[in-house]
Structure 1
Amino acid sequence: MKNSKRGFVPMSHGISLSKSQYPTELDELKRMSSIPYASAIGSIMYAMISTRPNVAYALSMCGRFQANLGEAHWIGAKSILKYLRGTKGLFLVYEGERELVIEGYTDASFQTDIDDYRSYSGYIFRLNETVVS
């Protein structure tokens, strides 16, 4: 990852991760078992909680496949890491307004999980025009 290209978005549009991408061949299972996927997901989660809430959706899509990951899942996690590497100079800045302004937004999608037909919802809270959750 040290010499990788820098990413512009945490997860590209149109990428769909599912259970159908699990490895089926024995050699692929062995190769995927040596990949530090859970460690990468944990590192991304630490960054998300600390300073980078903008990767939450991409992380939730990749984090579901820790038990049995395939190559597509690992590529998804690496794309988040590339994005974080490319945007490491960016950080949260709270404006110095005297009055605190809190805004909240929410959205939901209906049955977008192609494996289990679950719906997803999300939210964002801003404090003086800066995302905090």
Structure 2
Amino acid sequence: MRYGIKLSKKQSPKTNEELKRMSSIPYASAVGSIQYAVQCTRPDVAYALSVTSRYQACAGEAHWGTVKILKFLITTKDMFLIYDGGELILEGYSDASFQSDDDDAKSQSDFVFKLNGGVVA
């Protein structure tokens, strides 16, 4: 997901034509595929997943455009972490934002764990 993109329910389909078009787009399936990747091997796109998954019930064209995360996953599939034989250093961070969801005024919090500088959870 590109920096600065703001999604909201206001971008949901409003006309019957828009609803019909979006009903043929596999938005929920794409989000599910991203979730599988995040759980198994790609925690680096977890934030983008959390944003895009909010709109599964009312996805519009703008929401579908952000699911290009799949393209990113495909183009970076051959990248991986390599650890040397030295001591393993585990770091953990957490963060929270107050009312970051403009639609529902919900706050968000999350965490990240890094092993020798590479994200692992």
Q: Given the two structures, how large is their TM-score scaled by the length of structure 1?
A: 0.84
Displacement over 3 Å in runs of 4+: 92-95
Task: Verify the 8 A CA contact 1:101 1:127 in the aligned structure 2.
Answer: yes
Identity of aligned residues (%): 60
Secondary structure of 1:64's counterpart equals helix
Unaligned 5+ segments in structure 1 are: 1-10
More helix by share: 2
More strand by share: 2
Unaligned 5+ segments in structure 2 are: none
Query: Does the alignment pair 1:115 with 2:103?
Result: yes
Task: Verify the 8 A CA contact 1:100 1:127 in the aligned structure 2.
Answer: yes
Q: How many residues align?
A: 121
Task: Verify the 8 A CA contact 1:53 1:132 in the aligned structure 2.
Answer: yes
1:89 to 73, 78, 81: 78
Deviations 1:28-66 (A, max 9, x none): 101100111111111111111111101000011001111
Secondary structure of 2:45's counterpart equals helix
Distance 1:120 1:94 in 2: 32
Residue 101 of structure 1: CA displacement?
2.3
Distance 1:84 1:68 in 2: 24
RMSD (CA atoms): 1.4
Distance 1:22 1:51 in 2: 31
- Match for residue 17 of structure 1? 7
Listed as ranges, the matches of 1:1-133 within 5 Å are 11-77=1-67, 79-97=68-86, 99-133=87-121
Q: Given the two structures, how large is their TM-score scaled by the length of structure 2?
A: 0.91
Task: Verify the 8 A CA contact 1:95 1:129 in the aligned structure 2.
Answer: no
